[in-house]
Structure formats: C-alpha cells, structure tokens
Amino acid sequence: MEQAHQAMQDRLLTEPEDRNALFYYRSVLQIDPHHHGAREGIHQIVELYLTWALEAIDDLAFTKANLWLERAALADPKAPAIFTVAERLELKRSLSRRTIVLPEWVTSTTDLPNHDSATQRAVNSFFQDIAASIRQQGATIVIYSRSDEEGRWIYQSVNQYLPQRLRATLKLDRPARIDLIFLAPSPTTE
C-alpha cells in the first residue's frame, strides 16, 4: 500500500506499467479482494481521471478528455460516473461554435457618442447581424474583450437588438471577439 500511495502522490496512476498506483492497488486486491484501502485507491484514480476529463471537456480538448475517460475505464470499467462524463463529452462535441472577431473599426467606436454617423450605422448593423444569428440559432455567447468596460459595451451593443435579455459569459482576452455556441443540427437521413 505504501508503494501505491507514493505512486498516487507522484501522479503515476496507470503508467508506467508495473510501477503505477493501479498496479499496486490491484496487487493488494489479489491478496485481499476486500481490502478497503485498495478499493478506495482505485476509486480515487477514477475520480482524478474524471476530474481531468471534465476540465478537458470544458476547454474543448476532446482528444485529451477521451484519453482521461479511457484511463478511468482502465482503472474501473464499471464505475457509473464514467458513463455520465462520457455523455457530457458527447453533448459538448455536438455543440458547434462560431467565432466572430470584432474588427478594429468596430472596437474603436466604443468612445463615440451615440450619433447617426456612417460609422455608427455600420457598427449598429454589425451588432444587429450578430443578434440575428443569436436569435435564429438559439445561441449562447462568450464575449472576449480587452477590458471589462469593453466587454460591457460589446454586451450592450448586441443585447439592444434582442427581444430578451442576453445571457453571456465575459472573459478577458485578445482579440475582442464573440463566440456563438449552439447545438449542431442532427444529421438527417433520407
């Protein structure tokens, strides 16, 4: 058990072969099939892999999420939580994302007063088109902006063209952009 605990601390969960926590816990279970500590250790391995899988899913790193799910299943193929996380992965994969990078001519107008200039009309039209896409596709959005102030301005610029208050996530990043996230249409068979 000491070797298993050390392997867990070193994050050697299922690799390298014959020197990992799973190997050591299974060795203990061969001697004592009901050893609580070994069973709990395997459960912890599964939980760690599932935590990492969920983080990868949130980051849209689907290949990595799949790897963590496979390793969790290697540790305990009957763990019910694996199925739940696998379903979440499939749902997230079925989501589509469209990124709209805000051109400089749009973001440079945050200081302009709300007047009827040609530039302001073009900016309004730009945000009206985004709002139409959100409405038509039932999209949720993530706004990336260079500052909190710019993010609020982008949000208000889109929200004014929607019939209901828009729910959005704001993140600070460059370039300023909007991610539209919507469920992908299911393939039709004829």
pLDDT of 183 reads: 67
pLDDT profile of the chain (190 residues), mean per 10 = 93 93 96 96 97 90 93 96 95 84 88 70 94 88 95 96 93 94 54
pLDDT of 1 reads: 92
Q: Residue 149 and residue 145: Cα distance in Å, rounded?
A: 9
pLDDT of 115 reads: 54
Spatial CB neighbours of 56, under 8 Å, sequence gap ≥ 6: 62, 64, 65, 68
pLDDT of 174 reads: 93
On whether the CB atoms of residues 158 and 145 are closer than 8 A, the answer is no
CA 79 to chain centre: 23
pLDDT of 77 reads: 96
pLDDT of 190 reads: 38
